[in-house]
Structure 1
Amino acid sequence: MIIDTHIHLDDSRYDDDLDEVLDRAKKGGVERFIIPGADADTLEKAIAISEKYDDVYFAVGIHPYDLDGFDELVFDKYVNHKKCVAIGECGLDYFRLEGSDEEKQAEKDKQKEIFVKQIEIAKKYKKPLIVHIRDASVDSKNILIENNASEVGGVLHCFNADEQLLSLSDNGFYFGIGGVLTFKNAKKLVNVLPKIPYEKLVIETDGPYLTPTPHRGERNEPLYTTFVASKMAELLETDVDEIKKTTSKNALKLFFN
């Protein structure tokens, strides 16, 4: 069994063959799927998908690139839905900051503000966080610690292999590992993987993005978590079935406990 803890099934690239995508995944041993919330405009689509398929769940959240769509009332409306398992993806992303230094700082401040608000929502409703961090490790870690995110924990989605974040495992955080692990240029993640506590690893695709080898250049889909599991088993020198069992157990504890 594998649980895909981060798959954007509400993306339009799955519109024409979603039934087939999920069927392939289930035949390959992928049994649960979580759609992260990123944009308020696609939330209802994600919910509709979760209601149609028994093994699909969703999260409510606003990605740091879509802050204008933040509305606390949306969270209040959907967070208690029976298929909602988390808050996010939320966090900080400084990769695309543009403009003057003042404009960049203003964007950082806005991202921090909305990130903190989503942490507070997670604590209010006792839901784990799905955290997006890119080029913002220090600020993200500080915010999670200072705002007591350990009360709910969560996952560092698409873990960026920054070792200073590893200590968050002591604060209830898990580490989402996806197709990047199979890339030739993923030396940093390959080296850091063995340092992650075994009981804190979960698997994800981030589909339709970050497709693993040997399918790079194609649309990613949940079935390809099997390549991630195989690579993890190779690097950790263990059996792939043990990786599937352990990461699924971890995901169940985090999202479905």
Structure 2
Amino acid sequence: MIIDTHIHLDDDRYDEDLDAVLDRAREGGVKQFIIPGADPVTLGKAIDIAQKYNDVYFAVGVHPYDMENFSEDIFHTYLKHEKCVAVGECGLDYFRLEGSDEEKELEKQKQKEVFMAQIKLAREYKKPLIVHIRDASNDSKTVLLENSAAEVGGVLHCFNADEQLLSLAYEGFYFGIGGVLTFKNAKKLVNVLPKIPEDKLVIETDGPYLTPTPHRGERNEPLYTQFIAQKMAELLKKELSEVEDITTKNAQKLFNI
């Protein structure tokens, strides 16, 4: 059995066949699904899906690109929901920074403030974090450590293979491994994977994005966690069933499901 710890089932690309997507996944051994929150504007749809299906859960969060929509009131409303298992996805993303150096620094500071506010809420409600990091490893690690995020832990979503982040495994953080592991140019992640403690590994698709080989170019879906698990088993020199068991137990422990 596998748990897809990061799947955007609320994306419009699943609207016409969501039942079929979930049924295929279940038949393929996917046990549970977690929808990360990225934008409070669309959160209602994720909650509706989680309420409709017993095996679907959601998280409340604001992605760095949507930080202008951050509102503590929304968090206070939904973090008490029985199907809410985490805060996120939240974090830092410097990939699209534009403008002068001063403007870029201002943007970074705004991202940090929203990130820190979500860490505070996670600690208040004792929920783990789903952390998004892109081109911001050093700052992300600093913010997590300086704001006592280790109190609740969490997962580094779509782990980018930055070795400086590996020490967060000893601060209660897990590492989300997705379809990128199957890409031909994923040498860095392939090399780093064995360095991650086994009890800190979880599987995710990030569907509809980052579709693994052999389905690259298609819409990603939870069933394709099987290709990620197979690649992990190959690289870690373990049986597929062992990888499934390890990552499922890790996800259940992290998200208390």
TM exceeds 0.5? yes
2:165 match: secondary structure: helix
Q: Within 2, Cα distance between the matches of 1:158 and 1:172?
A: 17
CA distance in 1, matches of 2:239, 2:33: 23
- Cα deviation for residue 41 of structure 1 reads 1.2
1:197 aligns with 2:189: no
Q: Give the match's secondary structure for 2:26.
A: helix
CA deviation profile, 1:68-123 (whole Å, cap 9, x unmatched)? 11000000000010000000000000001011111111110000000000000000
| TM-score (normalised: structure 1) | 0.99
Q: Which residue in 1 is equivalent to 2:187?
A: 187
Instruction: Write out per-residue CA displacement over residues 36-79 of structure 1, whole angstroms, 9 at most, x where no aligned residue.
Output: 00011110000000000000000000000000110000000000
After superposition, residues 58-77 of structure 1 pair within 5 angstroms as 58-77=58-77
Q: Output the CA distance in 2 between the equivalents of 1:207 and 1:219.
A: 7
How high is the sequence identity, in percent, across the aligned residues?
Answer: 75
Letter in 1 for 2:242: E
The match for 2:124 is 124
Structure 2: runs of 5 or more not aligned: none
Match of 1:53 in 2: 53
CA deviation map 1:129-185 (0-9, x unaligned): 000000000000011001110000000000000000000001000000000000000
Secondary structure of 2:205's aligned partner: coil
Q: Give the CA deviation at 1:218.
A: 0.1
In 2, the alpha carbon distance for the partners of 1:232 and 1:183 equals 12
Instruction: Name stretches of at least 5 consecutive residues in structure 1 with no aligned partner.
Output: none
What's the CA shift for 1:256? 1.3
Q: How does 1:237-248 map to 2 (within 5 A)?
A: 237-248=237-248
Q: TM-score, normalised by structure 2?
A: 0.99
Whole-angstrom distance in 2 between the partners of 1:41 and 1:9: 15
Measured in 1, the distance between the counterparts of 2:115 and 2:99 equals 22
Q: Which amino acid aligns with 2:125?
A: Y
1:18 aligns with 2:18: yes
CA distance in 1, matches of 2:215, 2:19: 20
Match of 1:177 in 2: 177
Structure-1 residue corresponding to 2:108: 108
Counterpart secondary structure, 2:86: strand
Q: Does 1:93 align with 2:83?
A: no
Distance 1:99 1:52 in 2: 44
Please give the per-residue CA displacement for 1:5-26, whole angstroms capped at 9, x wherever unaligned: 0000000000000000000000
Q: How many angstroms apart in 1 are the aligned matches of 2:117 and 2:196? A: 28
In 2, Cα distance between the equivalents of 1:86 and 1:248? 17
**CA distance in structure 2 between the aligned counterparts of 1:247 and 1:131, rounded to whole angstroms:** 18
Match of 1:208 in 2: 208
Query: Which letter maps to 2:50?
Result: S
Give, in whole Å, the separation in 2 of the partners of 1:42 and 1:5.
Answer: 19
CA RMSD of aligned residues (A): 0.5
Letter in 1 for 2:70: F
Q: How far, CA to CA, are the matches of 2:143 and 2:29 in structure 1? A: 37
Structure 2 matches for 1:128-143, cutoff 5 A?
A: 128-143=128-143
What one-letter code is carried by the residue in structure 1 that aligns with 2:162?
Answer: D
Counterpart Cα distance in 2 of 1:97 and 1:132: 16
| 2:68 aligned counterpart, secondary structure | helix
Q: Give the AA of the match of 1:26.
A: R
